[in-house]
Amino acid sequence: MNSGELDILLVEDNQDDMDLALHALKRGKLANNIFVARDGEEALDFLFCRGRFGHRSFDHPPKLVLLDLKLPKVDGMEVLKQIKGDARTKTIPVVIMTSSKEERDLVAGYNLGANSYIQKPVDFDQFRETVKTVGLYWLVTNQPVPANGAREVAVRR
């Protein structure tokens, strides 16, 4: 994993979900530059370039964060809150991808600034389709905020 261009930060503790998600992304030809954080703490360290990721620079944020809510150590909502609460990271698109579609989670997610909220479909075909759609939208269709004016947006297929 180089420290340069990064497309997606996948925050997922469950091995099965991770594999299925990566499979789906791969099918959608979106899996080239993915980093997977296995808990909330790791995700935050990664995003705020600290601890293990001290060498990382804020110049190269991920173009999309796919965030699960049920996470060990620091849960998804807390991660979302910190991302959206910091000027350096708040422009990063965060899509909540979770099993729950409880109303209170939806409301809380959007209130904290989530850009999108997706319930993982039980049906695998639907799941794959959803993941592909989301990835394409945020990585290809959407125009991100120009960061420091220097970074070039690399589009890979």
* Binding of other proteins by 28 (CB under 8 A): no
Task: Select from 5, 75, 121, 132 the one that contacts other proteins (CB under 8 A).
Answer: 121
Region near other proteins per CB under 8 A, out of 9-17, 42-50, 85-93, 107-115: 9-17
CA 123 to mean position of chain CA atoms: 22
* Binding of other proteins by 116 (CB under 8 A): no
Least distance in Å: CB of 82 to other proteins?
A: 22
End-to-end CA, the chain:
18
User: What's the CA gap between 102 and 118, in Å, rounded?
Assistant: 11
- Each residue 45-84 as x (binds other proteins by CB under 8 A) or -, in order, gives -------------------------x--------------
Whose CA is closest to 35, among 27, 156, 45? 45
Considering the complex, state which of residue 32 and residue 126 has its C-beta at the smaller distance from other proteins: 126
User: What's the CA gap between 71 and 105, in Å, rounded?
Assistant: 14
Strand stretches in the chain, DSSP E: 8-11, 34-37, 64-67, 94-98, 116-119
Q: Sheet containing 116-119: give its strands across.
A: 34-37, 8-11, 64-67, 94-98, 116-119
Least distance in Å: CB of 17 to other proteins?
A: 7
Region near other proteins per CB under 8 A, out of 30-38, 73-81, 95-103, 109-117: 95-103
- Which residues contact other proteins by CB under 8 A? 14, 16-17, 20, 23, 70, 98-102, 120-125, 127
